[in-house]
Amino acid sequence: MTELELKRGYEVLPDNNVRFGIRIINNSDYAISDVKVILDYNESLFMLEGSEIQKLGTIPPAVPRTAKFVLKPLGCIHIKKRLQQPYVTKTICGSGTP
């Protein structure tokens, strides 16, 4: 097992915004301090609500912390997600977009 695990996930909200999360799991025996998550996203596809930097502070051993970001699509985007065979594809559009 690695001492630091990073996981990511997303959820499409009812208004077609995308909530994107980055989870940090500290599997070490020591606390990790001054943790910051910086989101690098495509500004031609999304507008970010809030800051692209989230401060998670100190993460003690065996305690997961999640940074959550809300992205607003500027046009239509296609999301391909593999749940099982075959892929599931979903299209989401920002407000004012057909």
- The whole-angstrom separation of Cα 72 and Cα 19 is 9
Contact predicate 37/56, CB 8 Å = yes
- Length of the chain, in residues: 98
Is the pTM value of this prediction over 0.85? no
Q: Given a cut of 50, is residue 94 above it in pLDDT?
A: yes
What is the residue extent of each domain of the chain? 4-93
Q: Given a cut of 80, is residue 65 above it in pLDDT?
A: yes
Alpha-carbon dihedral 7, 25, 33, 29, rounded to 10 degrees: -150
pLDDT of residue 88: 59
pLDDT, tens digit, for every residue of 31-54? 999 999 999 999 988 999 999 999
- The whole-angstrom separation of Cα 28 and Cα 95 is 43
Contact predicate 61/28, CB 8 Å = yes
State which fold the 4-93 domain adopts: Immunoglobulin-like (2.60.40)
